[in-house]
Amino acid sequence: MKIRDILSVLPYVEARIDDASLGIRGIAFDSRSVCPGYVFFALCGSNTDGHLYLAEALKNGAVLVVGERQDALQKFSGLVSWILVPDGRRALALVSNLFYQDPSRHLRVMGITGTNGKTTTCFLARSIFERSGLPCGLLTTVRNLVGPWEMESVNTTEESLRIFHHLHMMRSIGIGNVVMEVSSHGLAIGRVEGVRFDAAVITNLVPEHLEFHRTFEHYFNSKKKLFEKVTENLAKGYPRVAIANGDDEQCVRMVQGLGIPYLTYGLGEGVDVRASEMHFSLRHSRFRVFTPWGTMTVETALTGRYNVYNALGAIT
């Protein structure tokens, strides 16, 4: 990847480039991770400002810096090439996707969001893929699984650089499917920009993280971005589908009118995938699942009605 390639994918305000043909050897958003030949993204976060570390990035060998603050970048004119962008995290996602050769284009990607139950539903969905003989990667709050490798997660939705690195690893070892936990925060700030989602699941929706979103509608619309990404994904041959908890009116509202098929699940009448005849003990749950494709009995060590919902989200 060369600097000219980065310029071709980024919406930018201004660029001061010394040599557009210069090759880029890697990407970093932490100045301590910069190596010679890297591009450094100065991100503005809640705890610090990446523009404060531009000098350290240059000292470590950065040949290009990307940031949102013109005053900070101009101080380094003549010392390093720089690009001023309106949204640093979106820029990081676009360049990371380019660097790792658009890995999600070659994978079947399921995103799972919601207020509660995301992580459990992700693990259950991956288990279904694996038991069906379909190797599946996993990106969640608690851990990331890429073939034989297990890595700790930093956020519910990782920074885009790590997401695309994991997706690239999956593709390189022959994994064709991935289940990803996707938070409203990650969606709102662009951490999954460029990921081509084929399916999306919404588990439930109640007001949360309003210190960030401020209003429920902003929270709702941030979650809905995941489903809009499924709608926009026209580059792959996998069927696109939206899946919603049909007992939650906000979830149903989210998937209606998208322009792609959607399925609902729950315990009430009128859903596509429904559980009934539920029996609970301290050690397990057992229930019947009725689907358009047949009926089955499910027994799981996960207890409680909420885990029936999690299982239905994964099954659907």
Q: Give the DSSP letter string of 221-265.
A: HHHHHHHHHHHH--SS-SPPEEEEETT-HHHHHHHTTSSS-EEEE
What does DSSP say about strands 108-113 and 177-181: parallel, antiparallel, or unpaired? Answer: parallel
Residue 305: predicted pLDDT: 93
The whole model's pTM is what?
A: 0.92
Check whether 162 has a pLDDT greater than 60: yes
3-class SS of residue 299: strand
The edge-to-edge listing of strands for the beta sheet with 108-113 is 149-152, 143-146, 136-139, 177-181, 108-113, 199-202, 241-245, 262-266, 273-280, 285-291, 294-300
Residue 211: predicted pLDDT: 63
What is the rounded average pLDDT for all residues in the chain?
A: 93
Residue ranges of the chain that CATH labels 3.40.1190.10 = 103-257
Residue ranges of the chain that CATH labels 3.40.1390.10 = 3-99
* Alpha helices by DSSP H, 10-131: 54-59, 70-74, 88-99, 118-131
Residue 209: predicted pLDDT: 65
Of 32-41, 45-54, 106-115, 293-302, which range is least confident?
A: 45-54
Give me the residue label for tokens 């949360």: 208
Question: Span 93-119, mean pLDDT?
Answer: 96
Identify the CA nearest to 275 among candidates 240, 249, 242, 314.
314
Check whether 292 has a pLDDT greater than 80: yes
| End-to-end alpha carbon distance in the chain | 40
Check whether 156 has a pLDDT greater than 60: no
CATH class for the region spanning 3-99: alpha beta
pLDDT single digits (tens) 181-236: 999 888 988 899 999 999 999 999 987 766 666 788 888 999 999 999 999 998 88
Share of the chain above pLDDT 90, in %: 84
**Local structure of residue 266 (DSSP, 8 states):** E
Give me the residue label for tokens 């240059």: 58
User: What CATH fold (topology level) applies to the domain 103-257?
Assistant: UDP-N-acetylmuramoyl-L-alanine:D-glutamate ligase (3.40.1190)
Give me the residue label for tokens 């050690």: 283
Q: Is the Cβ–Cβ distance between 198 and 107 less than 8 Å? A: no
